[in-house]
């Protein structure tokens, strides 16, 4: 019996290590796909905390046209680590639940960037499908402190 428990435990170790480490993989992105070229415009996004304890993005809302390729330049001007994740509201909610279980999980997805205070990162993205999406910080407590906003993609 002890051997069976040990074998089962060892079989789970890679899964737990992966979930607590980085988050990567091939996800279907309903809003579009990573781009390598074809930039049409640059949009700067700032992440920070306010004096009253809220966590915000500036601008608070993003809107693009389907077919548009955008370079998002994201800067963490706050005092805490933050992330910027673009996805559907439903996918972000599921991902946020996973982040609550594994708070040290980091992202290596092309639709996300995680930044220490003072760091700047970029996402080059082509928005191909019209719809209502969301950008958010899924780190524990950040979403609840206001760190999310609508990302609308309109028909071109």
The answer to whether the beta carbons of residues 45 and 123 sit under 8 Å apart is no
Give the CA distances from residue 83 to residues 11, 76, 104, in Å, rounded to whole numbers and listed in that order. 31, 8, 12
Comparison of pLDDT for 138 and 10, the residue scoring more? 138
- Report which of residues 35 and 27 the model is more confident about: 35
Q: What residues does each domain of the chain span?
A: 32-154
- The predicted model gives 79-99 an average pLDDT of 94
Quick one: fold of 32-154?
Answer: Immunoglobulin-like (2.60.40)
Confirm if 132 and 149 have CB atoms less than 8 A apart.
Answer: no
pLDDT band at 23 (very low <50, low <70, confident <90, very high): very low
DSSP per-residue codes, 7-53: HHHHHHHHHHHHHHSEE------TTEEE-SS---EEEEEEEEE-TTS
Query: Alpha-carbon distance 6 to 45, whole Å?
Result: 48
Cα atoms in the Cβ-side hemisphere of radius 13 Å centred on 144: 6
Secondary structure class of 94 (helix, strand, coil):
helix
List, for residues 37-82, the tens digit of each pLDDT value: 766 799 999 999 999 999 999 999 999 999 999 999 999 999 999 9
Residues 6 or more apart whose CB falls under 8 angstroms from that of 134 comprise 86, 87, 88, 89, 92, 148, 149, 150, 151
CA distance 40 to 17: 39
């Amino acid at each position: 019996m002890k051997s069976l428990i040990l074998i089962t435990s060892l079989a789970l170790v890679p899964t737990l290590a992966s979930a607590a480490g980085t988050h990567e993989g091939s996800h279907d992105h309903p809003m579009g796909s990573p781009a390598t070229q074809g930039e049409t415009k640059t949009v700067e996004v700032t992440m920070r905390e306010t004096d009253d304890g809220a966590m915000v993005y500036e601008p608070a809302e993003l809107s693009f046209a389907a077919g548009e390729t955008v370079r998002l330049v994201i800067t963490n001007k706050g005092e805490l680590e933050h992330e910027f994740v673009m996805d559907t509201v439903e996918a972000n909610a599921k991902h946020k639940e996973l982040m609550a279980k594994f708070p040290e999980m980091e992202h290596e997805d092309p639709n996300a960037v995680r930044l220490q205070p003072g760091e700047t990162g970029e996402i080059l993205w082509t928005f191909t499908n019209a719809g209502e999406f969301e950008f958010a910080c899924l780190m524990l407590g950040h979403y609840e402190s206001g760190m999310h906003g609508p990302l609308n993609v309109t028909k071109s």
